[in-house]
Amino acid sequence: SGAEPPACPRHRSSSPAWRVGMGTDDQAPLRPLKDHKHWLFIIPVQVGPATAYARNLKNWLHGILVVQVIVCNCRLLVLRDYTGGLWMALVIAVGWYAVVQEMNITYICAWGVLCTLNGVFDLVGFILPTLIGIYKASFVEVMLEICVPLVYLAGALFAWHLYRDYEHTHGHDVGSFDPIARYVDEFDCEGNTPLKAAGGFIGDMFGSTKTSARTPGAAAALAA
C-alpha cells in the first residue's frame, strides 16, 4: 500500500520539495511525465491517483460546493432564473463528481473551467443591464446576483490551485499566480475553516489590515 497523505498540507515545507509527490510515492523525483496529456489542451488527464495534497483538501471542495448549492437554490427560488440555475446545477454536479472520483484533477479542472465561463457570463449579464439602467431589482436580488459570480470565482480559483499542484507534481511550471494559496495553506484543512480563510481573502481584497489567527503549526510552516 502507498504512503499515507500528510496530516494536513499546512504543515508542508515552504520549499518546492513539497510538490514532488508522484501519486502514492511522495519521495519520487520531480520529473515531467512523457504521457502527460491534456484534454482540449487545458484540462489534464489524470495519470494515477490524485496527489496527497489534493486529497487533503477534499473538505475545501465540499465547502465551496455547499455554498454553490445554496446560491443555486436562491437563484431558482428567489430570482426565478431557471435557465441560469439549471446551468449552475450542472456545474455543481461536475464538482461533486470530482469529489466522488477522489479529487480527480480532470473533473476538478472541468469544473473550474465551467465556473470561469459561467461566472464571466453572469457577471457581464449583471453589469451591462445595470450600466444601461434597465436592471430593476430589490436589494436582496442584487446581492444574490453579485453572489453568483463570486461563488463561481471561488470554484475557479480553487480548481486553479489544485491544477498548479498537479502540474508541479508532474514537473511542469505553470507560473506563480495563485491568489488563494496562502489562505488554503494557512488554515487547517481538517477543521471547519474554509469560510475563515474566505473572510481573510475578502478582507485583503478590500484593504483590511486585520490579521487572522494562526495555529502554531501554521505559523511555523509559513515562516519556514
The whole-number pLDDT of residue 170 equals: 82
Q: How far apart are CA 162 and CA 157, in angstroms?
A: 9
**177 contact partners, CB below 8 Å, separation of at least 6:** 160
Model confidence pLDDT, tens digit, residues 177-193: 999 998 888 875 554 44
Q: How far apart are CA 74 and CA 183, in angstroms?
A: 27
Residue 11 lies in a domain: no
Q: How far apart are CA 8 and CA 218, in angstroms?
A: 10
Q: How far apart are CA 13 and CA 167, in angstroms?
A: 18
Q: What angle do CA 40, 164, 37 make, to 5 degrees?
A: 35
Q: Which domain holds residue 106?
A: 53-173
Could you identify the residue written with the cell 470554484?
155
Residue 62 lies in a domain: yes
Residue 166 lies in a domain: yes
Residue 151 lies in a domain: yes
Question: Against a cut of 0.85, is the pTM above it?
Answer: no
- Structural domains of the chain, count: 1
The whole-number pLDDT of residue 212 equals: 38
Higher pLDDT, residue 80 or 211: 80
Model confidence pLDDT, tens digit, residues 139-156: 999 999 999 999 999 999
* DSSP conformational letter for 210: P
Q: How far apart are CA 67 and CA 89, in angstroms?
A: 12
The whole-number pLDDT of residue 124 equals: 96
User: Do the beta carbons of residue 188 and residue 215 sit within 8 Å?
Assistant: yes
| Short-list 158, 94, 81, CA closest to 122 | 81
Residue 189 lies in a domain: no
Q: How far apart are CA 190 and CA 60, in angstroms?
A: 9
Residue 163 lies in a domain: yes
Helix axis angle, 139-169 relative to 82-100, nearest 10°? 30
Residue 134 has pLDDT above 60, yes or no: yes
Residue 76 lies in a domain: yes
Residue 71 lies in a domain: yes
C-alpha cell at 36: 502527460
Model confidence pLDDT, tens digit, residues 190-213: 544 444 544 444 455 445 434 333
